[in-house]
A = this chain, B = another copy of it.
């Protein structure tokens, strides 16, 4: 495939700017032989206008049509040849197995949303039949269904060039919801983004979707134009706290504010309870090292904090962890910027008075060495800001608390998290069961005897959590719940059958479950149940 490098606007390619951008080989740092056209402000606006005009048509597609569209995108992704895998490897330094797996996750995600579209629960169909004889006032016929909010702006993540990027969860959930998309391609993998955008456009073409159902622009400092464009009705973002918060602030300051779901920053505390440490401390140290160093620590759910109660077993665990971290080889990060951020984060930890370094090779060269720090518990209790900042990379901070009471205080001092993990034996859970309500208020996902890296794409997953893990704890960017972020309810009062969405028609042509007069049912409405004007 040849890389054109132009912006995707309403089904056409556009490169108006003289300024071009370069993609780099993540290992060597050398420029790749592609040029990408920085989107002009005019092009960014055109992309939003394209999404807006396509929305008028796309919102009227049936759930089945959208399901087929998502499945066709999935097929296109799965059909990529080895050239694609090689390209992603060059742009991101991620290993082949990871990319093949992530591609499967990305196409699987598209297919999962297709099943949601056919299941129809996302529609939230509710019918309250007319009660014409009710006193003192009759009740009209009222029917509610959820529909797409409008064009959605998506900012992909560097660390998942497929699953959280061009055709990632935000795009999949927005397209499933009936929303059109304006994607800002991540500058770390622009060639990958182009491959994937082409796949989406081929699928759109095959399925007869309107031009502009998916738009993508390249560029630096151009996202703000999209966030501020009046056509854009919601934003999905995965990235840094600084970047995410800036987008939230922009969206809130619009003449017409819009919701933003930004997944931003989490240190994913892992709490090691006493009996577990006694029984399998060495094993835990090994597993934790694997989780901390997996993918060079470049996961939103990387365990950045380990908390345990002072004991012989915890000391032994720390010693093993130190040895493991020291023995872990350096890895190449996604790009130079990520490495620079990692080094900056390490440097800040080293300069912090209450923090000491326990293990890790000196950080130099082009790769990232895993690092281990220890911080005083009091820092967390007092809400020390630095300690709660995510350092993106293979590093974790150990905190040793005095006792169960200080453990509770420490957890209360935590900011919002994507995950919180307990490593525990059954007797620990008896003794420490009061931790669970505290963790419920801190995190979107609570794990027991697992490690937070590895996020299943399914109905029950929550990849979200209180601020600053995300900008809105009510959402999730992974799993089928992600579609809720882009839906709004509309109620029809006394509408005739032919003007109602299929989801609300008496005959239930979609065959979906609906809440009818307070009871969930897949049945058709009996004629006797309602009276409407026509």
Interface residues of A, Cβ cutoff 8 Å to B: 56, 59-60, 101, 115, 119, 121, 124, 126-128, 136-137, 139-140, 142-144, 147, 149-150, 233, 248-249, 252-253, 256-257, 259, 416, 426, 429, 433, 436-437, 440-441, 443-450, 454, 456, 458-462, 464, 466-468, 471-474, 476, 481, 487-496, 498-499, 513, 515, 518, 520, 533-534
**Chain B residue contacts of A429, Cβ below 8 A:** 496, 498-499, 534
> Could you tell me if B259 and A248 are in contact, using CB atoms closer than 8 angstroms?
no
> Could you tell me if B448 and A496 are in contact, using CB atoms closer than 8 angstroms?
yes
Q: Please report the C-alpha to C-alpha distance between residue A489 and residue B448 in the assembled complex, in whole angstroms.
A: 18
Question: Provided the pairs A128-B460, A462-B490, A493-B450 are in contact, do residues A515 and B121 lie with their beta carbons within 8 angstroms?
Answer: yes
> Could you tell me if B142 and A448 are in contact, using CB atoms closer than 8 angstroms?
no
Q: Please report the C-alpha to C-alpha distance between residue A397 and residue B464 in the assembled complex, in whole angstroms.
A: 45
**Chain B residue contacts of A534, Cβ below 8 A:** 426, 429
**Chain B residue contacts of A474, Cβ below 8 A:** 149, 259, 487-489
Please tell me which one of the listed residues B126, B127, B440, B496 contacts residue A147 in the complex, with CB atoms under 8 A apart.
Answer: B440
> Could you tell me if A56 and B437 are in contact, using CB atoms closer than 8 angstroms?
yes
Please tell me which one of the listed residues B60, B426, B464, B491 contacts residue A444 in the complex, with CB atoms under 8 A apart.
Answer: B491
Question: Provided the pairs A150-B441, A467-B256 are in contact, do residues A461 and B491 lie with their beta carbons within 8 angstroms?
Answer: yes
The 10 sampled A-B contact pairs (Cβ below 8 Å) are A101-B136, A124-B481, A144-B459, A150-B441, A257-B467, A443-B490, A444-B488, A448-B499, A474-B488, A513-B520
Please tell me which one of the listed residues B458, B492, B493, B494 contacts residue A142 in the complex, with CB atoms under 8 A apart.
Answer: B458
**Chain B residue contacts of A490, Cβ below 8 A:** 440, 443-446, 462
**Chain B residue contacts of A436, Cβ below 8 A:** 499
User: Which has the most chain B C-beta neighbours within 10 Å: A136, A259, A459, A495?
Assistant: A459
> Could you tell me if A462 and B487 are in contact, using CB atoms closer than 8 angstroms?
no
**A433 shortest CB reach to chain B, Å:** 6
**A1 shortest CB reach to chain B, Å:** 27
Chain B: CB-nearest residue to A517:
B459
Question: Provided the pairs A59-B437, A128-B456, A474-B149 are in contact, do residues A115 and B491 lie with their beta carbons within 8 angstroms?
Answer: no
**Chain B residue contacts of A444, Cβ below 8 A:** 488-491
**A337 shortest CB reach to chain B, Å:** 26
**A351 shortest CB reach to chain B, Å:** 24
Please tell me which one of the listed residues B136, B448, B520 contacts residue A121 in the complex, with CB atoms under 8 A apart.
Answer: B520
Please tell me which one of the listed residues B147, B448, B488, B518 contacts residue A493 in the complex, with CB atoms under 8 A apart.
Answer: B448
Please tell me which one of the listed residues B143, B433, B515, B518 contacts residue A499 in the complex, with CB atoms under 8 A apart.
Answer: B433
**Chain B residue contacts of A142, Cβ below 8 A:** 456, 458, 460-461
> Could you tell me if B446 and A518 are in contact, using CB atoms closer than 8 angstroms?
no
User: Which has the most chain B C-beta neighbours within 10 Å: A56, A101, A128?
Assistant: A128
**Chain B residue contacts of A498, Cβ below 8 A:** 429
**Chain B residue contacts of A454, Cβ below 8 A:** 137
> Could you tell me if A462 and B144 are in contact, using CB atoms closer than 8 angstroms?
yes
Question: Provided the pairs A248-B257, A447-B494, A449-B533 are in contact, do residues A139 and B458 lie with their beta carbons within 8 angstroms?
Answer: yes
**Chain B residue contacts of A459, Cβ below 8 A:** 126, 128, 144, 515, 518
Q: Please report the C-alpha to C-alpha distance between residue A126 and residue B468 in the assembled complex, in whole angstroms.
A: 25
Chain B: CB-nearest residue to A115:
B518
**A376 shortest CB reach to chain B, Å:** 23
**Chain B residue contacts of A137, Cβ below 8 A:** 454
**Chain B residue contacts of A487, Cβ below 8 A:** 474
Q: Please report the C-alpha to C-alpha distance between residue A493 and residue B479 in the assembled complex, in whole angstroms.
A: 14
Chain B: CB-nearest residue to A129:
B460
Q: Please report the C-alpha to C-alpha distance between residue A115 and residue B517 in the assembled complex, in whole angstroms.
A: 12
**Chain B residue contacts of A101, Cβ below 8 A:** 136
Please tell me which one of the listed residues B59, B449, B464, B471 contacts residue A257 in the complex, with CB atoms under 8 A apart.
Answer: B471
> Could you tell me if B249 and A458 are in contact, using CB atoms closer than 8 angstroms?
no
Q: Please report the C-alpha to C-alpha distance between residue A481 and residue B128 in the assembled complex, in whole angstroms.
A: 13
Chain B: CB-nearest residue to A447:
B493
Chain B: CB-nearest residue to A501:
B440
User: Which has the most chain B C-beta neighbours within 10 Å: A256, A450, A460, A492?
Assistant: A460
Chain B: CB-nearest residue to A101:
B136
**A169 shortest CB reach to chain B, Å:** 15
Q: Please report the C-alpha to C-alpha distance between residue A213 and residue B495 in the assembled complex, in whole angstroms.
A: 41
Chain B: CB-nearest residue to A519:
B119
**Chain B residue contacts of A492, Cβ below 8 A:** 445-446, 448
